[in-house]
């Protein structure tokens, strides 16, 4: 049994949990899409079990995921598969699929189901809001009432309590006064406990290749380098007959290099679109503005 705890709470239970290394911090940060590995967003070294968040603490303290890599005491590398080296935060991946056992304890006929590509794009652009959020839970969920079914229900559907056997159980509440909510892009606002459950699911599913994000300063440096290379190529090849080919080659070089970095460090693929689409959009609007400015000059000359 593992428990989470908050700051500035001193009780005999909390002290006992600390002694037995069964307590994990539950403050997961203000960003709902990010789940930190511990008390720091990017810790410089492996954190002790008492200083990690619930998902990382549970995975590191069990044999659920066997890394099979001998620990020679060497420092952690960027893509080190050893469990103790999983120290970067998770970018949470929320699934809209329903656990097939969910229908054993609650009605799922009102679930949204899978969206078509057009429906998903329409929701993202804000054109429609129908089926925007999935009303059914992202993780197998038993409400308190599901654990107190009468004998007729159990005889017809089985005992809901049997579904928790062999599973990690995250206990949370849905009380407005606690302000303990997490936003899911698929489910809307959910009780905060789902953040820990989904993070654990992500670690189990992806292993050492769980998705993460770059540090802001590092991403900024990469963007400046890519944009500088492209603009430098445009300036230096201005009088060359192969100027367009040179610039295109530099853009492809930056694209492939950035894609390789994303693959190596398990960054979100959406960064490719964000970096290069932003640049393409800027160039497009600058050219339009320049063309309009040229037209204005021609009109003034004619006048």
198 and 256 assigned to the same domain:
no
pLDDT confidence bin for 298, thresholds 50/70/90? low
Residue 250 near residue 230, CB atoms below 8 Å: yes
**Residue 248 structural domain:** 216-302
134 vs 81: which has the higher pLDDT = 134
| Separation CA 139–CA 17 (nearest Å) | 26
Q: Tell whether 256 is covered by a domain.
A: yes
Domain boundary among 179, 207, 235: 207
Q: Tell whether 53 is covered by a domain.
A: no
Number of domains composing the chain: 2
In this predicted structure, what is the pLDDT of residue 194?
93
Q: Tell whether 90 is covered by a domain.
A: no
106 and 191 assigned to the same domain:
yes
pLDDT confidence bin for 178, thresholds 50/70/90? confident
| Separation CA 291–CA 274 (nearest Å) | 26
Residue 126 has pLDDT above 60, yes or no: yes
pLDDT confidence bin for 17, thresholds 50/70/90? confident
| Burial zone of 235 (CB within 10 Å; 0-12 exposed, 13-18 middle, 19+ buried) | exposed
181 and 265 assigned to the same domain:
no
Q: Tell whether 13 is covered by a domain.
A: no
């Amino acid at each position: 049994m593992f428990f989470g705890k908050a700051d500035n709470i001193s009780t005999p239970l909390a002290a006992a949990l600390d002694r037995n290394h069964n307590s994990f911090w539950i403050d997961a940060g203000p960003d709902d899409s990010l789940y930190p590995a511990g008390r720091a967003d990017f810790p410089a070294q492996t954190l002790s079990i008492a200083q990690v968040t619930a998902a990382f603490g549970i995975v590191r303290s069990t044999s659920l995921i066997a890394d099979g890599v001998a620990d020679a005491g060497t420092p952690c590398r960027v893509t080190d598969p050893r469990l103790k080296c999983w120290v970067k935060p998770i970018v949470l991946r929320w699934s809209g699929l329903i656990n097939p056992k969910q229908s054993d304890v609650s009605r799922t006929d009102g679930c949204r189901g899978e969206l078509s590509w057009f429906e998903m794009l329409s929701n993202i652009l804000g054109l429609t809001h129908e089926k925007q959020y999935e009303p059914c839970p992202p993780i197998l969920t038993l409400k308190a009432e599901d654990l107190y079914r009468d004998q007729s229900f159990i005889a017809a559907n089985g005992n809901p309590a049997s579904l928790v056997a062999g599973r990690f159980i995250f206990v949370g509440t849905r009380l407005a006064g606690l302000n303990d909510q997490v936003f899911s892009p698929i489910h809307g606002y959910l009780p905060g406990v789902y953040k820990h459950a989904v993070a654990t699911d992500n670690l189990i599913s992806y292993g050492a290749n769980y998705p993460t994000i770059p540090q802001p300063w590092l991403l900024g440096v990469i963007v400046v380098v890519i944009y500088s290379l492209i603009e430098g190529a445009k300036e230096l090849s201005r009088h060359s007959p192969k100027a367009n080919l040179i610039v295109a080659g530099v853009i492809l070089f930056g694209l492939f290099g950035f894609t390789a970095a994303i693959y190596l460090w398990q960054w979100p693929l959406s960064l490719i679109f964000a970096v290069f689409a932003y640049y393409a959009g800027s160039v497009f609007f600058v050219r339009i503005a320049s063309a309009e400015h040229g037209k204005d000059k021609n009109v003034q000359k004619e006048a």
